[in-house]
Amino acid sequence: MLKQTFLSKLDKLQEKYKKIQEELSKPEVIQDVEKYKKLSKELKELQEINDLYERYKKVQEDLSEVKELLKSDDKDLRELAEEELERLTQELKKLEEELKLHLIPKDPNDKKNVILEIRAGAGGEEAALFAADLFRMYQKYAEEKGWKITILSSNKTGLGGYKEVIALIEGEGAYSRLKYESGVHRVQRIPITESGGRIHTSTATVAVLPEVDETDVKIKPEELKIETFRASGAGGQYVNTTETAVRITHIPTGIVVQCQDERSQFQNKQKALKILYAKLKDYYERKKQEEIAKERKEQVGTGERSEKIRTYNFPQNRVTDHRINLTLYKLQDILDGKLDEIIDALRAKELEEKLQLVEKEG
């Protein structure tokens, strides 16, 4: 049985659904194209949970009738009632779980594309090589999901690693899956630069930001400091002799982005702005979350990037996600983009925590 807190929420949503239906039948609303469009969208969003709740109430009624039949003197009727009781009980349980999931607040960014940023952390050249391994892992995962991945900015090292790589990942549900990857990733292995065969620990940071529309973040032209310079490749050699690379500083926040991968200054500027908009949206949302956290201690799924979220141990063929204490002995599969087992487990944990919060808040 669903708790009263859930039932109250469902009753309110159903009441809202019926009110929107009534509004949509009014002539003045039908004539107002924008309002009609907005209400129709709201109605569509509430349709599934309304239908589930209607079915839930119907199954409850059917269960009450079946329980009455169990009191019958007719043996055959009682046997049929027992079978029906089992079926309806299972259906009710399934409907309860589906309704609970629908009550969890949706992440408005889940359907958005992703700005993926990977930076080498502690460990010098080995950290840069690990950053390249992580980028390849996400490339493979994107390919498996049918997503498109485009490098926006990169800074390669002489051995083929990345000091930093930023990419745009476009595809259905990209952010809803990759958002769990933000944090510090740690690798334990013998670096190719190590002659003594000792195991080293290195790190790389991963940031997953939702791509934002320019209308979501307001930037005044005077807030930007735009500089151009000559793009250089690994080891410092010049890619070209003209100033096509672009560096943009957002003066109020001090956020700096740069792009040098494209041949034209205009293309580099457009890519740099795309990264800047995503970083600014993330910056302002984090400031807002910090303010909320002062008032409410319990936070679900904030995913602080300072935490070491995952360790990749080569000698033991082991990958451990520290947030959920999940250990898998299939390191190469994971580095080849087989991330669903980890992401599904992280998603299930987050849903469980959010569900507890919904129940607690009533």
- What is the share, in percent, of the chain residues with pLDDT greater than 70? 89
pLDDT of 340: 95
Average pLDDT over residues 41-46: 88
| Confidence check: pLDDT of 314 > 90 | yes
Q: How many residues in total does the chain contain? A: 362
Phi then psi for residue 195, to 5 deg, are -85, -20
In DSSP terms, 321 is beta-bridged to: 310, 326
How far apart are alpha carbons 40 and 203 in whole angstroms? 48
| Confidence check: pLDDT of 232 > 80 | no
Condensed to tens digits (0 to 9), the pLDDT of residues 80-110 reads: 888 999 999 999 989 988 888 788 878 888 8
More confident residue, 137 or 353: 137
Alpha-carbon 60 to chain mean position: 36
Average pLDDT over residues 247-264: 85
| Confidence check: pLDDT of 330 > 90 | yes
For residue 339, give both structure tokens. Answer: 């991330």
Q: Is 221 exposed, middle or buried (0-12, 13-18, 19+ CB in 10 A)?
A: exposed
For residue 63, give both structure tokens. Answer: 């269960």
pLDDT of 294: 54
Condensed to tens digits (0 to 9), the pLDDT of residues 153-180 reads: 888 988 889 999 999 999 988 999 999 9
More confident residue, 214 or 301: 214
Condensed to tens digits (0 to 9), the pLDDT of residues 17-27 reads: 999 999 999 99
Domain ranges across the chain: 4-103, 114-287+305-353
Neighbours of 275 (CB within 10 A): 23
Whole-prediction pTM: 0.69
Strands 183-189 and 162-170: unpaired
Mean pLDDT over the full length of the chain: 85
Average pLDDT over residues 190-201: 79
CATH topology for the 4-103 domain: Methane Monooxygenase Hydroxylase; Chain G, domain 1 (1.20.58)
CATH code that applies to domain 114-287+305-353? 3.30.70.1660
pLDDT of 203: 93
pLDDT of 221: 84
Confidence of residue 233 (pLDDT cuts 50, 70, 90): low
pLDDT of 242: 61
Phi then psi for residue 116, to 5 deg, are -100, 125
How far apart are alpha carbons 162 and 155 in whole angstroms? 6
| Confidence check: pLDDT of 65 > 60 | yes
pLDDT of 306: 47
3-state secondary structure at position 225: strand
